[in-house]
Structure 1
Amino acid sequence: MRPVRLLAPATLVAALALSGCATSPYTGPVEVTRFVAPDPAGLGQGTIALSFPDELGNAAARAAFTSAVTKELTRLGYTVVPEGVPASQTAAIRTSRSGIAAATDNRRGPVNVGVGGQTGSFGSGLGMGVGINLGGGRESPSVMTDLAVRISRDDGTTLWEGRSQIATGVKSPYSQITTSAQTLAAGLFRDFPGGNGETVTISVKKLQGN
């Protein structure tokens, strides 16, 4: 009589081990806040140039956000001109990524990023979302990526400004620079120009394909 095998096959053991430790990547919604000038004449039309007022050391991030914002501005009706070419309006772009520390009670406190402000930098090593695991043993919000854009006339008058931000886990596809740039830009310019002072929350699923 053959002895009864009490050990499960190696493949089953591996599958059980993976099912026990697998986690779903965390992807939060995009939170958008916008402000519109009382007299926004010319908004959404004419020529516009892009600028980065703050140093952005991560070349990949600069390229990704330039492409994403250009796409959205073009969709709105602007003609985006190359850097150095005079334009009737300017879109000042600021973006940053910062780590979210895990709280001792496992609850994430609010992260506030003012329009035009920065809490981190893509040049600080956080730009690719690699090697950051501040949320403990399970996938949780680990990084906050934000995008702020201010549109001004050539005389310096601000016509519109807005900010979008998203919290993601390290394993989320939305932690990748290109994907996060496209998603944040799509959310920021969705239903442009938006209500003055309003804050809206948009699911990333609604922004897919934009």
Structure 2
Amino acid sequence: MKNAAYGIVIALAAVSLGGCATTTTSGPVEVTRFHLGAPLERGTLTVEPLAGGGAASLEFKTYAAAVETELIQAGYTTSAPSTTAQYLAVVGFTRTSQDVGPRRSPISIGLGGGVGGGGYRGGGVGVGGGISFPIGKARAREIILSELSVQIRRRSDGTVIWEGRAQTGADVRAADAQASAAAGKLANALFRGFPGESGRTITVK
């Protein structure tokens, strides 16, 4: 079982963002899920941060709440405070910024005209064809890259019974660049059709 879990981690590391980082608004979500193929049991569950990920910050709580909402819809239940849950949902997330190719100003000046006869008409000389150039400097665009990873572990023996990762990108000015929106979007895509086809990467728009 440990070897299978290790294989899940290695396979997920190969997932890339594809075209998400070049969007001017918000991109689709790329999702990969892995599981052992057997029907997944349901039971009580609690959400915890990934080991080494630091204390449960406000941002983590946003992602944890989104994951918990989706898992409840998938058939799990939250455990009472005084009881031990049967399963753990271990949540990790990252948010990074990246500058992508410069974007020119859409405003441009065009020079053009036509030459008639000998090229002289009314005291003006026209240039055949046209020339245009943008005004202002090229501006880089900032993209927020968001990633959510979740492992569902059986508490009794620590076995990872399901693991998934979702990634997306959004222009820094887009609504989906906000942590609360990104968390809901990633969690919804990650658990859509749960448990999903193992080992396959899908694009969720």
Give the alignment's TM-score, normalised by structure 1.
0.63
Structure of larger gyration radius: 2
CA distance in 2, matches of 1:87, 1:25: 42
**1:69 aligned partner, one-letter code:** V
Deviations 1:145-195 (A, max 9, x none): 000000111111111100001111110100111111011000000011110
> 1:38 deviation in Å?
3.4
> 5 Å matches for 1:191-206?
191-203=193-205
Instruction: Name the structure 1 match of 2:31.
Output: 32
Identify, as 1 or 2, the structure richer in strand: 2
CA distance in 2, matches of 1:85, 1:196: 31
Retained in 2: the 8 A contact 1:47–1:88?
Answer: yes
CA distance in 2, matches of 1:159, 1:58: 24
How many residue pairs get matched?
148
Identical counterparts, % of pairs? 32
CA distance in 1, matches of 2:82, 2:29: 32
CA distance in 1, matches of 2:82, 2:62: 19
**2:144 aligned partner, one-letter code:** V
1:52–1:58 Cα change, 3 Å: closer
1:191–1:72 Cα change, 3 Å: same
> 1:25 deviation in Å?
5.0
Given the alignment of the two structures, is residue 71 of structure 1 paired with residue 72 of structure 2, yes or no?
A: no
Given the alignment of the two structures, is residue 151 of structure 1 paired with residue 149 of structure 2, yes or no?
A: no
The secondary structure found in structure 1 opposite 2:166 is strand
Runs of 5+ unmatched residues, structure 2: 1-22, 105-137
> 1:201 deviation in Å?
0.6
Which one of 81, 84, 87 corresponds to residue 86 of structure 1? 84
CA distance in 2, matches of 1:102, 1:76: 37
1:30–1:80 Cα change, 3 Å: same
CA distance in 2, matches of 1:196, 1:177: 27
1:77–1:100 Cα change, 3 Å: same
